[in-house]
Amino acid sequence: MDSIEITFHPITLYQLAAFPCAVLYCYLSSYALLPTILRYLYLLVGGVILASTSMGYYAILVLTPAMGATVLFHTNGHHSIHRWAFILQMAWQTLCHLWVMYRQYYLRELMTIRASIMISSLMLLTQKITSLAMDIHEKKVTVSTRGLMELKDKALPHPPLTRSVLAVLSYLLFFPALLGGPLCSFVEFQQQINKRKVWDNLGLIWTVGKSCTFFFIFHLLQSIITDHITFEYNLTDCRQWECVYVMWSTALVYKITYYSHWLLDEALLYSAGFYVGSGFYIAYTDSNIYTLETTNRISLFARTWNKSTAMWLRRLIFQKCTKWPLLSTFAFSAWWHGLYPGQVVGFLCWAVMVEADYRIHAKLSIISKSPYIRFLCKLITWFQTQMIIAFIMLAVEMRNVTMLKALVFSYNSLFPLLYCVSLIFLIKLKP
């Protein structure tokens, strides 16, 4: 057997390089060797250094909205803060996306790694800014008459302005979650910062070690697949059912890549102590791989895939929309991701598939009385779910319009088309 060449994506290397700093922060904080104000500084300075190192001069495109949002939070009341934060941040992010697309498609430049890391970090920053803005609007976090940020916990003193600004900037840019990781709220971030007791170091080592082990397993599996499975065709020259194998195998590589990144992101966050005693690990882990690979429900897959982002989208869009909440949520997700043609096609297709999934499974639950029929239905719908998700994933990941057309006009379209026909039939069937 040929040797397997294991290479890491640059963003993975930056995450791995941040591990010693995260462990040091956890050690100093857990034994009360780092005062609260220095914890904020440690996390903030680490974030600025990591941003500058990984993004180069693109880091200014992330640091600028973070500072702007901090000013916004301290100068506006809770009534309209969520609207202003949403509009300004999404406008900034959209301009950055359009600038990158202009360089890719008009100037014919390849997207650099630093620009890619900047866009990814900016998307995560949008989550934090809008999440904090909604917390202020819902009075989970309050702003005093002097413009000072405080937790809605009367036991905590009013922080001075400098400490309040430092707390917000640290939350938006703290290095364990700058390049990836599950979204945590500002309240949870504050709770972790203000912890006084010594944490369970054995439990922490076990959790971090388990996440890192699975990360390396999935990364090794990805290397094996890419090195030893021969992709005889691509979507532009495959024929008929051969395209289904190309789609499935390519989507498998994408999924394993996502799983490994999520595991590493979570391990870095845990190594800094951001999970102990608050339920953070249970509520916000993104890597529920077993459910993703075994579910026969597209709707459950959508809620579980990148779970913290799904929860954020549900709170930001789905629960706020009175008309077409499902379609609006997936349309916004396409906008947040960058509005590439493949992303528009993929996310709108996903919305239709989730709606069809609800109706189809509601009908199957009525007609499948026998356990054998139920098992057969689960098997068929599991296969259908995996194929549809593979179709959506390839559409979203593609930046080439030619490849997108090849995907849409191949036999792969039969899987989502089957659910579309079923959806139309069930809508007409409903009295």
> Which positions are annotated as active-site residues?
306, 337
Proportion of the chain in helix, strand, coil states, percent, rounded to 5: 75, 0, 25
The rounded distance, in Å, linking the Cα atoms of 279 and 144 is 29
DSSP secondary structure string, 242-257? HHHHHHHHHHHHHHHH
The rounded distance, in Å, linking the Cα atoms of 249 and 235 is 12
* Secondary structure of residue 194 in the 3-state scheme: coil
Residues whose CB falls within 8 Å of the CB of residue 362, separated by 6 or more in sequence, listed in order: none
By C-alpha distance, which of 190, 69, 75 is closest to 140? 190
Angle at 59 between CA 55 and CA 62, to 5 degrees: 125
The rounded distance, in Å, linking the Cα atoms of 103 and 147 is 40
Which class for 106: exposed (0-12), middle (13-18), buried (19 or more C-beta within 10 A)? exposed
What is the Cα 25 distance to its own chain's centre? Answer: 25
CB atoms within 10 A of CB 23: 17
Owner of token pair 């094996």: 224
The token duo for 428 is 């007409």
The rounded distance, in Å, linking the Cα atoms of 273 and 42 is 14
